[in-house]
Structure 1
């Protein structure tokens, strides 16, 4: 009996990047088996692209502050390059969605990789010319590239049947783990590639890996997309003022913001304490591995213990990271703190994201998720800016002391909500 066939335009709409609702815009019939093979192929393409595209943030975070120390006219501006990277990510999110809505995902991702190559060339040129402002422009453009890369997991989920989306996202996360190795290793291998110009070679390698992603992304096969305008639902202002949404948003902002706050300052603090640039880069590598590694089981933990409990555990781990950092300035303390920070971010951010899905109806999810992402990355950029200023003014220990009140403000209501949910849950007899 022949396999059942269906058209690619379906009644089951698919959630695209940043909450935009998309569906296939083609009348070409596609068999179930063929569509499954194409979906698996696209997942492999996106996994490879993630391994290359995800290396760029590691390079910027590892070296942005160190290059700032060389070029910045003021000590208060040394972390400005990393802060501008996060600002570029925040500002690039909505334009990236518009580009992919108008021209399709593959073309949008190709444009993003071009941004990545240009970013590396601009940053390297800034180092060669000794121009801090040019280097900063390069890191900000790298943020535009990251705005495209962070959506690869959504594209992978849309490429496969509904029951396979979790597996698809996990496989793309494997690319993130590879990126956590590639980025710091490129820093170590290429930082002295150009004599007398430290770190310029590392940003040239950033441009190179972005160019390497172009032929990989060109193999992506996705049909054209059309945005479906959703109507109905509550006004966005009403949703944003609801206690459930505010708690989920605050938990996500604190998880992501504190991670960025500490990670931005960590490489500079390590070098200032006498550790090498290579040791600082390896610390960031272990941190990023800890950020992505738990993703393979975080979903099961949420299913077992609940969103609020896992989010609270993530915040507790971030506080534990600060305690370790305050306990000493040796290499072990820095690295262990960064690992705990990465795992805490994973639990806190993924748990908070899952909490957001409880705050809207299907008709409201586009505007709610879009508002959440915009506020999230805006707060991350602000935390990055504040980190450099506070590190210069008060030092590494003060940055870690700042963690505890921020965690406590969110941890208390999270635990209260988790307790109420546990008591309301039906008890087995």
Structure 2
């Protein structure tokens, strides 16, 4: 595997560690700074808005200027955003803190392109494994992020949360130094008269429609149920330790399979792996519907993570067969925009959905969406899927 893929896996780990660190403290900072309870989650909302805002421009920018320029700009924005957020925290300004998390969200949005850069850095037979390796950086992030949040509490005398932003600053600087020395794909110059299909024409392809739907719904459903789980466990009188244990295994379920998902795609086809992911999501829902004991939550969230891994990595791989080189930025950009918009909706609806529907019906709500993905992928059968398989 090329050194670039290994480097991007480390960069992904640093990016996700920073994201986990930020998520772990943003709501607490919001609670400290907000004048009204409705504003407590404003920093997290701004982070999501920044991420979504960056997706399409980042993809187009990198197609014109190359991956290295795009990633360096993204990390510089993240470093500046970290400084702005820290100033907002120290000056007790919610608006400035939210502006900082918005800028950090932009950096996170740019970093979502790491997995696409990885597959562009290796031969086609290695594409699935390259995507998996980059996503496997999440295992390292799951260790670094929470521990950094704990260790940094005493790094600043004025606030227990300020130290986390020194840690976040350090993660972005490390990623920046890595990206500066890493050989990354250069911009691909297309002939002047190269025809680029419209979105309407692109989405007439069953493969693109299936890939985007798989990424959107797999991510959206995962975030919906994951975000609602701590609230549901609290209602069922499970303590914080039990909830943390469930979430920890969920995160492991999300990222540990990345070490072999690429090999599964290579051996069994992208189509089958996505269908297995849909199956894991449905089994997760079924377990959640059978009870609300600790082990119901544990197994349900573990399978939810595995299902997300198979649908998301499979969708990313399938997507690469739906566009021409000149359409790369356009398709990758709209895919990221739609996938992370779905994730944001899942996050925002989780609390209200649990309150309105209850745990059981919230899980039932997920079933038809999962079946939609399964149907779209199943329709591909082997008539379109061979393109995504024969070259593996």
What is aligned with 2:134? 172
Deviation at 1:341, TM superposition (A): 1.7
Contact residue 207 and residue 384 of structure 2 kept, 8 A: no
Q: How many residue pairs get matched?
A: 383
Q: Deviations over 1:291-327 (max 9, x none)?
A: 2222232234334444333223212322333444455
Task: Confirm whether residue 91 of structure 1 aligns to residue 53 of structure 2.
Answer: yes
Mapped contact 2:224–2:346 kept (Cα < 8 A) = yes
* Cα drift, residue 143 of structure 1: 1.7
Greater CA radius of gyration, 1 or 2? 1
Give CA-to-partner distance per residue, 1:65-92, whole Å, 9 cap, x none: 4544555555555544434323322211
Q: What is the root-mean-square deviation of aligned Cα atoms in Å? A: 3.7
Aligned to 1:259: 222
Contact 2:264 2:273 in 1 (8 A): yes
For structure 1, which runs of at least 5 residues remain unmatched after alignment?
1-38, 423-429
2:363 counterpart (400, 404, 411): 400
- TM-score, normalised to structure 2, is 0.79
Q: 2:302 aligns with which of 339, 343, 346?
A: 339
More helix by share: 2
Corresponding position: 1:387 with 2:350: yes
2:129–2:262 Cα contact (<8 Å) kept: no
- Structure 1: distance between partners of 2:287 and 2:43: 27
Cα distance per residue 1:19-60 (max 9 Å; x no partner):
xxxxxxxxxxxxxxxxxxxx9443443333222122122223
Structure 2 gaps, min length 5: 386-392
Q: 1:233 to 1:94 in 2, by over 3 A?
A: closer
Gap change, CA 1:203 and 1:233, over 3 Å in 2: closer
Query: Which residue of the partner structure matches residue 115 of structure 2?
Result: 153
Match of 1:353 in 2: 316
Output the CA distance in 1 between the equivalents of 2:166 and 2:333. 33
Q: Indicate how the Cα distance of structure 1 residues 49 and 244 shifts in structure 2: closer, same or farther if over 3 A, else same.
A: closer
CA spacing shift, 1:184–1:373, aligned 2, 3 Å: same
Cα pair distance change 1:282/1:209, threshold 3 Å: farther
SS in 1 for 2:170: helix
Out of 93-102 and 309-318, give the one that drifted further: 93-102
| Shift in CA distance, 392/406, structure 1 to aligned 2, threshold 3 Å | same
Residue 185 of structure 1 and its aligned partner are, at CA, apart by 1.8
Q: In 1, distance between residues paired with 2:251 and 2:290?
A: 22
Distance 2:217 2:227 in 1: 15
How big is each residue's C-alpha offset from its partner over 1:87-141, in whole Å with a ceiling of 9 and x where there is no partner?
Answer: 3222112332354455543343233222223333444444444444333333322
